[in-house]
Structure 1
Amino acid sequence: MEWLLYVSLLIIALAFVILVVSIISTLKSLKQTMNSVSTTVDDLQTQLDGITTESSNLVHKTNDLADDLQRKSDSLNSVFEAAHELGVTFQNMNQSVKRVSDSVSRQADERSEQAAKAVQWGNVAMELWSRWKKTQAKEAAGRTR
């Protein structure tokens, strides 16, 4: 029976060796996996740093663009104000021209009446002149006979 004890110890020793070998191979595999995960995390960190830098640059460019847009918008405001003032000036000028035109039209109406009267008096004067001439011509013809 003693040999049974040796065989049992041998089986236990072999089982222990197999267990240790399988644990060692599992640990080696786990070490490789952990190294791979570590490399992946390092790569992700590098990429994340690059994305952070690019995002920061993009934010700065966006802010610069917004500032530029604000400056251009402010300069356009002055153009629109000048256009508005020009419109007001044209409106004032149109009102002035209308007032002058109305005044000239009123004076023309007044003077047209005076001109019509002058033409009438001129016609009367011409008629009188023409009659006087005819009378003079008749008297001259009467004296020569």
Structure 2
Amino acid sequence: MIIILYLSVAFIAIAFFILVMYISKTLNSVRVSLETVTKTLGGLEKQIEGVTTETTALLQKTNHLAEDLQRKSESLNSVVDAVKDVGTTVIHFNQTLQGITNAVDKQVEGNKEKISQVIQWSNVILELKDKWRSKKQEKALNTKRKISIKEKQKDIER
């Protein structure tokens, strides 16, 4: 029975030794994995610092652009106000011009008959002027013919 006890203790010792070996290998594997995780976290920390720096720079640029956009928007507001004033001026000018046109129309309506008479007299004067010119041209042409006939007669006489 003692042999069985020694064998059991030896078997337990061997089993414990094998267990310690497997635990040792497992802990070694865990140590290697933890070192890899530590390196990865170190790299990740550096990347996060880089991203944080870039994010800060981007935020500053965004703030600068927002300020620039605000200034330009305010400048544009003054341009829009100026255009609005020009539009108001054009509307006022158009209303004034329309009032003048209406006044002229009323005066033309009132003086329609006089205008008609002026146009008739103008036509008569133009006709007289045309007749006078045509008579004047006829006289000049007749004078030229007479001179031409006299020259021919002189040529014949020679």
TM range (shorter): 0.5 to 0.7
* TM-score, normalised by the number of residues in structure 2: 0.57
SS in 2 for 1:92: helix
1:62-109 deviation line (CA, Å, top 9, x unaligned): 222222222222111111111111111222223333444445555566
Unpaired stretches in structure 1, ≥5 consecutive residues: 120-145
Assess, with a 3 A threshold, how the Cα gap between structure 1 residues 3 and 91 changes in structure 2: closer, same or farther: closer
Unpaired stretches in structure 2, ≥5 consecutive residues: 121-158
1:9-37 deviation line (CA, Å, top 9, x unaligned): 43333223222222211111111111111
The 1-side partners of 2:41 and 2:23 are apart by 26
Q: What code does the residue aligned with 2:33 have?
A: T
Aligned pairs, number = 119
Q: CA RMSD in A?
A: 3.1
Q: Which residue of 2 aligns with 1:50?
A: 50
Q: What code does the residue aligned with 1:66 have?
A: A
Q: Which gives a bigger RCO, structure 1 or 2 (Cα 8 Å, sep 6+)?
A: 2
The percentage of aligned residue pairs carrying the same residue is 41
Assess, with a 3 A threshold, how the Cα gap between structure 1 residues 100 and 12 changes in structure 2: closer, same or farther: closer
The 2-side partners of 1:80 and 1:16 are apart by 90
The 1-side partners of 2:53 and 2:5 are apart by 71
* TM-score, normalised by the number of residues in structure 1: 0.61
